[in-house]
Amino acid sequence: MSLLNIKDLHVEVSGKQVVSGLNLEIKRGEVHAIMGPNGSGKSSLVNALMGHPHYAITQGSVQFQGKDLMSLKPDERAALGLFLAFQYPKDIAGVSLRSFLFAAYKAQMKARDPDRAKTTPVKFKKLLEEHLQKLSIDPAFAERFVNKGFSGGEKKKAEVLQMQILEPVLALLDETDSGLDVDALKIVAEGVNAVRSKDRSFLIVTHYARILDYIEPDHVHVMVKGRIVQSGGADLARILESQGYAEFANKK
C-alpha cells in the first residue's frame, strides 16, 4: 500500500502554475530524492503537500495513509505523521526550543499515541537531551529562542532535532543540505539515518548530490518545469551531479 500517492498534481502561487501534472508514489520505508534546477517547483511541491496557504492545489489528488490530504488542515496533516523541514526556518522570538518541542510533541502524540502525550516536563527533558547528544548539540542549545541568532547550520540541525522528536511517518526535507559545511552535513545526514526504518519514509529535495553521499536514496527523480521527467536509482544522482540538467530541459 502506498504511503503517499500523488496523481496529476497542479499547484499555483499567486496565479502562476509552479507544479504541472506531477505524479509520485512513495511506499513505507522508502527514501526518495527530487533533484532539479532552480525554479523547477521542488520546494513548491513540498510546501503544497504540507498545506502552506500560499500554494493553491488547483487539480489532481494526494492520498496520504489512505486519506485525502487536501481535505486536512496543516496541523491535521502533521498529526497524521507528515513533517516538513523548511529550507529557510523562521525565527520565533520569546519561545525556547525546548518549550516549542514539548508543546509540539504533546500535540502530536495526543493524536497518535495518547499515553506518550502524558509525559512530564522532566521526562521530556531527558528525551530531548538524548537526541541532542546524538546530534552533537550542546544541551544549552535547547534553551535558546527558536532559530533566533542561529547560524544556517544550527537552524538545519534544529529541524532534524524536531524530526527526531516528533517521529513523522513521512518527512519532507526541503534543501536541508543548503548552506552546510561538510561536518554539519554529516551530522544532519546521521540524524536522518538514525530514524530511517521500514515504517518511516523521506522525500529529500535538493539541488546537489552531496547529501546523497550520506543518505542512500531508493529512488531519485528529476523535476523540471513542475513535472517529474525522469526517475531512477541512486546512480541517477551521480549523473546529474556530473552532467547537470540541460538534457532534461525539454523532456515531457
Stretch 118-147: mean pLDDT, rounded? 91
Q: Give the span between the Cα atoms of 192 and 6, in whole angstroms.
A: 24
Residue 91 per-residue DSSP state? P
Q: Give the span between the Cα atoms of 4 and 27, in whole angstroms.
A: 7
Contact 165, 195 (CB under 8 A): no
The kind and range of the H/E element at 116 are helix 114-117
Listing from the earlier edge strand, what are the strands of the sheet with 2-13? Answer: 16-27, 2-13, 56-64, 67-68
Q: What does residue 25 show for φ and ψ, rounded to 5 degrees?
A: -125, 130
Residue 9: per-residue pLDDT: 97
- Among 3, 14, 25, 20, which residue's Cα sits nearest to residue 227? 20
Instruction: Check pLDDT > 80 for residue 1.
Output: no
Say how many residues make up the chain. Answer: 252
Instruction: Check pLDDT > 80 for residue 250.
Output: no
Residue 252: per-residue pLDDT: 61
Instruction: Check pLDDT > 90 for residue 83.
Output: yes
Residue 210: per-residue pLDDT: 84
Residue 134: per-residue pLDDT: 84
Where residue 12 falls among pLDDT bands split at 50, 70, 90? very high
Stretch 31-54: mean pLDDT, rounded? 94
* The domain over range 2-94+150-248 is classified in CATH as 3.40.50.300: yes
pLDDT in tens, 198-245: 889 999 998 878 888 899 999 999 999 999 999 999 999 988 888 888
Site of grid cell 523541514:
85
The pLDDT mean for the chain works out to 91
Amino acid at 176: T
- Among 186, 179, 98, which residue's Cα sits nearest to residue 138? 98
Instruction: Check pLDDT > 90 for residue 168.
Output: yes
Contact 168, 50 (CB under 8 A): no
Grid coordinates standing for 125?
527533558
Q: Which residues of 41-72 are buried (b: 16+ CB within 10 A; e: fewer)?
A: bbbbbbbbbbbbeebebeebebbbeeeebbeb
Q: Where are the beta strands (DSSP E) in the chain?
A: 2-13, 16-27, 31-35, 56-64, 67-68, 82-85, 92-96, 145-146, 170-174, 201-206, 219-224, 227-232
Contact 175, 45 (CB under 8 A): no
Residue 187: per-residue pLDDT: 82
* Boundaries of every domain in the chain: 2-94+150-248
What is the SS3 assignment for 179?
Answer: coil
Put simply, whether the predicted model's pTM sits higher than 0.85 gets the answer yes
